Structure 1
Amino acid sequence: MPLVEHVGVLYADRTHHEAARWLDQALNHDPERRVIAAKQRVAAGGLSMVGALLLLVAALAWSSRRATPATAGSHPVRIHRVPLAWLAGAAMVAPLAGLAGGWLLARSLPSALCGYLIGYFAFTGATLGAVALMATVDGRAAERRRGLSWLALAVAVTAAVVVPVHLGLTSTLPHGPRWWLIALLALAIALLLRSALALADPPWTVAVLGAVCLPLPVAAVAGLAPGFLALVTPLIGALFAIYLLVAGVARLAGTPWWQTVPAGALVVAWPVATTLPLT
Structure 2
Amino acid sequence: MDPERDYEEIWQLVTAYEFPWDYWQSVSLAFFRTFAIPSISALLEETGEIVGHTQKRADDTLLIMYEMGRLGLESPEGRAYLRRMNQMHRRYVISNEDNLYTIALFIVTPAQWINRFGWRRLTVHEQRALTNYGRRLAHLMGIKDVPTTFADFDQFAQSYERLHFAVTGSSRRLAEGAMAFTEELLPKSLRGPLKPVMRRYSLAGLDDALLHAVGLPLPRARDRRLVTWLLRTRGRLLRVLPPRPDSRPHRPVLATYPDGHQVCEIGPGWLTEGRPDEQNNAVHDPL
Query: Larger Rg: 1 or 2?
Result: 1
TM-score using structure 2 length: 0.26
TM-score using structure 1 length: 0.26
Higher RCO (CA < 8 A, seq sep 6+): 2
